[in-house]
């Protein structure tokens, strides 16, 4: 009964958020206008610099579905890829900086390595590609789907274009679909395209008719019917490219970027100068920032080429106002090798963890540091769905502070783990429930309007002036 209820709630959520991700209808009709050749690639770009070997070798050894190549639909898709070697090369070149990260995430979550290949036919590994149905990013999230997963979208930032945030959400969603369809990966992958409601409806129809509920026997649209074969065809080619006469572009089997926490809003041009790289490199790694500057309200994280992180930090420390955060050894900047649990991933991609503003300007040229209140802590027992970022938002603190107080090296937390939560509010009352968790009532704090400080200019919040209410000007007839 509980399992049926959970499935019903999941379907309701999926329908409300239009969960089916929009993809290229047929791989033969690829929207090439979204794709452009990478130019002026740096010397350490993953397709040029291979000190750790070729990642396709390892991925090929860990594929789970590569034996399903005798089906007609799969053979058709293999033939298409054989005829479009240039498409594969362009796509792999664009995705090269992120393929290692995505593969490591699938390994950490014990997911099929085949999921690394999904962005190849979803978006051509184009971080901000937009489909005819307005799906965006590597993983082609619809706006309402992104909103359903609390993926931040505003005029500064589109989380669907964030390679790390969108990947974490997509893999979490695949995990949920796999559980929803009783560990049937083909149905789960098809549901990523069509939405779980449509696949579940097809399964129930076959059950009523006494037919097999195997994915290949379901009555689904052509777009969904070829979706799984695309993935199987790619898996077969990745596993033994020489068998199909395909030469894959080599990709370095090592991290290309690291995530670096910064203190506040920064122009991407300045970030490029601090890292001593060209602007295109920074934009390629941080495509979610739509206006050439980071979101003033966060996420305060930049992806920087790993070989340039030390240079970026050194140059940032030499500026009049620090750019990067001072982080204790227990809470170092998260790299591509330091990852989080499934519960953490959803909120990491929402980017709702807001860093404390470190300065207020009374004049454009003077920065005055805010006094930091004494830090008190309260215990909190983590529950299902919690993450460092969600907890930080709930208690009006930052993930860095929580990790520092609890000596956490990464973002991983376990259900039932007791964390000490730093709080600087004047009063915080809590009631301990029977299950050991805390229900926290946040103190009311009266705040003066804040001034947001960028790396090169001051951005002041807009002031909304409330119009006076209309007076009653109706004339009254005298007696």
Residue 104 backbone phi and psi in degrees, to 5: -60, -35
Q: Which two tokens stand for residue 108?
A: 């950490």
Looking only at the bridges linking them, the beta strands covering 428-432 and 438-442 are antiparallel
DSSP one-letter string for 9-20: HHHHHHHHTT-S
d(CA 387, CA 334): 15
Kind plus residue range of the DSSP H or E element containing 362: strand 359-363
Residue ranges of alpha helices (H) inside 51-162 are: 55-61, 72-83, 85-108, 118-122, 143-148
The DSSP code for 421 is E
CB-CB neighbours of 301 under 10 Å:
21
C-beta separation of 402 from 388 below 8 A: yes
Q: Catalytic one among 93, 114, 122, 258? A: 122
Q: Give dist(CA 25, CA 143) in Å, integer.
A: 19
Can you list the alpha helix ranges (DSSP code H) found in 157-308? 163-180, 185-194, 196-209, 222-225, 227-239, 268-275, 279-285
Which one, of 113, 56, 38, 43, lies nearest residue 251 by Cα?
A: 56
Q: What is the CA radius of gyration of the chain?
A: 25
Clarify whether 258 is annotated catalytic.
no
Q: List, in order, residues 6 or more apart from 304 with CB less than 8 Å away.
A: 257, 258, 260, 271, 275, 282, 285, 312
How many angstroms separate the CA atoms of 63 and 55, rounded? 13
Give the integer Cα–Cα distance in Å for 300 and 304.
13
Helix, strand counts (H, E) of the chain: 17, 10
Q: Could you give the 3-state DSSP secondary structure of residue 121?
A: helix
- Whole-number Cα distances in Å, 78 to 63, 241, 250: 16, 11, 20
Q: What are phi and psi of 423, to 5 degrees?
A: -140, 140
Give CA separation, 156 vs 119, 222, 275, 291, 458, in Å: 24, 37, 22, 6, 16
Q: Which residues are catalytic?
A: 122
């Amino acid at each position: 009964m509980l399992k049926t209820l959970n499935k019903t709630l999941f379907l309701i959520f999926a329908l409300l958020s239009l969960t089916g991700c929009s993809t290229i209808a047929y791989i033969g009709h690829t929207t090439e206008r979204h794709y452009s050749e990478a130019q002026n690639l740096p010397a350490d770009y993953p397709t040029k610099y291979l000190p750790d070997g070729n990642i396709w070798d390892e991925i090929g050894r860990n594929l789970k579905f590569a034996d399903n190549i005798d089906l007609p639909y799969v053979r058709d898709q293999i033939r298409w890829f054989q005829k479009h070697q240039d498409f594969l090369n362009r796509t792999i070149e664009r995705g090269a900086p992120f393929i290692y990260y995505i593969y490591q995430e699938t390994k950490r979550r014990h997911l099929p390595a085949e999921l690394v290949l999904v962005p190849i036919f979803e978006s051509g590994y184009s971080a901000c590609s937009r489909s005819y149905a307005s799906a965006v990013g590597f993983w082609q999230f619809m706006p309402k789907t992104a909103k359903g997963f609390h993926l931040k979208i505003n005029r500064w930032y589109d989380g669907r274009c964030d390679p790390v945030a969108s990947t974490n959400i997509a893999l979490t969603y695949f995990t949920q679909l796999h559980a929803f369809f009783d560990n049937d990966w083909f149905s789960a992958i098809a549901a990523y395209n069509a939405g779980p409601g449509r696949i579940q409806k097809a399964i129930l129809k076959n059950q009523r008719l006494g037919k097999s509920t195997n994915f290949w026997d379901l009555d689904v649209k052509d777009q969904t019917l070829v979706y799984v074969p695309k993935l199987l065809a790619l898996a077969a080619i990745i596993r033994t490219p020489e068998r199909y006469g395909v030469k894959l572009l080599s990709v370095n089997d090592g991290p290309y970027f690291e995530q670096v926490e910064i203190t506040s809003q920064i122009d991407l041009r300045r970030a490029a100068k601090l890292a001593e790289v060209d602007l295109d490199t920074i934009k390629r790694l941080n495509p979610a920032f739509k206006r050439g500057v980071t979101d003033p309200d966060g996420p305060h994280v930049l992806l920087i080429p790993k070989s340039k992180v030390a240079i970026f930090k050194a140059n940032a420390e030499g500026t009049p106002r620090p750019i990067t955060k001072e982080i204790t050894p227990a809470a170092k900047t998260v790299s591509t090798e330091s990852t989080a649990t499934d519960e953490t991933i959803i909120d990491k991609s929402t980017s709702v963890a807001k860093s404390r503003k470190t300065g207020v300007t009374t004049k454009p040229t003077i920065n005055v540091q805010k006094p930091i209140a004494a830090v008190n802590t309260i215990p909190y027992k983590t529950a299902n769905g919690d993450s460092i970022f969600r907890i930080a938002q709930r208690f009006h603190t930052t993930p860095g502070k929580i990790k520092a107080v609890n000596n956490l090296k990464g973002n991983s937390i376990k259900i039932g783990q007791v964390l000490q939560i730093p709080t600087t509010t004047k009063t915080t009352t809590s009631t301990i429930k029977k299950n050991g968790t805390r229900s926290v009532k946040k103190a009311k704090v009266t705040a003066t309007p804040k001034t947001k400080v960028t790396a090169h200019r001051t951005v002041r919040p807009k002031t909304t002036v409330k119009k006076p209410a209309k007076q009653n000007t109706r004339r009254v007839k005298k007696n």
